């Protein structure tokens, strides 16, 4: 019979509570993932020292690497717990919460700043009314190919977790929101509000605050070309700044662009 799975969980009862570690031994199950192991611990939260403790707290939803809620550090690498297979992990398996987000408890963090960043860049297409507007504009196949990959973003937080520009003392919104601005600006209907998204990215904490470390593209579980999105949005914000400058001169009665 295979030996039990050893799991070390970083525990904190709240954001201001002291940190401690609990180790658990879980019966081995073939093809188990980190979530199923945590569920086993939840059913019987007894440590290897024989102490019964409160069950660990974590986030989960789809269990199909689609929702992004179960992101945590597994053996020091940020990833989705649902797709982290036990047979592929070195033991003891060490589970820690993401460090770039406010802690809620144990392995659960608050990713609200990512959703606030999406609001900032207007990561949606505003269409008034619910009446039938007829078919939408055609999307070129090459744009469909780009947009599909960009649309797979789960807002999981992996890109922010590995970014050296993201911290409590910086305002950088991170690669995910920048890439979503590219997604909606690349849509024929979304282009109507492209300048709003670009102006949002031109503010402090926007695309110019990227340090070009490229950690994000390596950590993205969906393989989204985040560095390409950052480069594209940096180019577009530069062009937007130039358009703003020329338009300002035109309003002042200057020579304008030509």
Torsions phi, psi for 77 (to 5 deg): -120, 130
Alpha-carbon distance values, 7 to 46, 108, 109 (Å): 12, 17, 20
- Cα separation, 228 vs 60, in Å, equals 30
Helix (H) and strand (E) counts in the chain: 8, 7
- pLDDT given at position 253: 60
Mean pLDDT in consecutive groups of 10 residues from the start of the chain, 258 residues: 95 96 97 97 98 98 96 98 97 97 98 97 84 81 96 98 96 98 95 96 97 97 98 98 85 54
- CATH classification of 5-109, choosing from 3.40.50.300, 3.10.20.30, 3.30.565.60, 3.40.50.2000? 3.10.20.30
- pLDDT given at position 258: 44
- pLDDT given at position 250: 63
State the Cα angle at 187 between 140 and 224, rounded to 5°: 90
CATH 1.10.1060.10 residue window(s) in the chain: 112-251
Q: Does domain 112-251 have CATH number 1.10.1060.10?
A: yes
- pLDDT given at position 68: 96
- pLDDT given at position 257: 47
- pLDDT given at position 127: 76
- Cα separation, 175 vs 60, in Å, equals 23
- pLDDT given at position 42: 98
pTM, full prediction: 0.91
CATH 3.10.20.30 residue window(s) in the chain: 5-109
- Cα separation, 124 vs 145, in Å, equals 19
């Amino acid at each position: 019979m295979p030996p039990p799975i050893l799991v070390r969980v970083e525990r904190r009862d709240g954001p201001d509570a002291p940190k401690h570690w609990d180790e658990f031994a879980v019966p081995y199950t073939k093809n188990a993932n980190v979530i199923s192991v945590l569920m086993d611990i939840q059913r019987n939260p007894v440590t290897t020292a024989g102490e019964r403790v409160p069950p660990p707290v974590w986030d989960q939803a789809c269990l199909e690497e689609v929702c992004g809620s179960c992101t945590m550090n597994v053996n020091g690498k940020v990833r989705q717990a649902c797709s982290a297979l036990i047979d592929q992990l070195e033991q003891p398996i060490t589970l820690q919460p993401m460090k770039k987000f406010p802690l809620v408890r144990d392995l659960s963090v608050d990713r609200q700043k990512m959703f606030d960043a999406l609001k900032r860049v207007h990561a949606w297409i505003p269409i008034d009314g619910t009446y039938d507007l007829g078919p939408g504009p055609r999307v070129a196949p090459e744009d469909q190919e780009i947009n599909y990959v960009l649309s797979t973003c789960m807002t999981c937080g992996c890109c922010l977790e590995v970014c050296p520009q993201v911290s409590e003392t910086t305002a950088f919104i991170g690669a995910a929101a920048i890439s979503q601005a590219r997604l909606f600006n690349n849509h024929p209907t979304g282009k109507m509000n492209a300048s709003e998204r670009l102006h949002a990215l031109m503010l402090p904490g926007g695309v110019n605050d990227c340090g070009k470390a490229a950690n994000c593209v390596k950590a993205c579980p969906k393989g989204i070309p985040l560095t390409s999105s950052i480069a594209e949005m940096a180019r577009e914000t530069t062009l937007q700044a130039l358009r703003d400058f020329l338009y300002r001169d035109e309003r002042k009665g200057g020579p304008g662009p030509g």
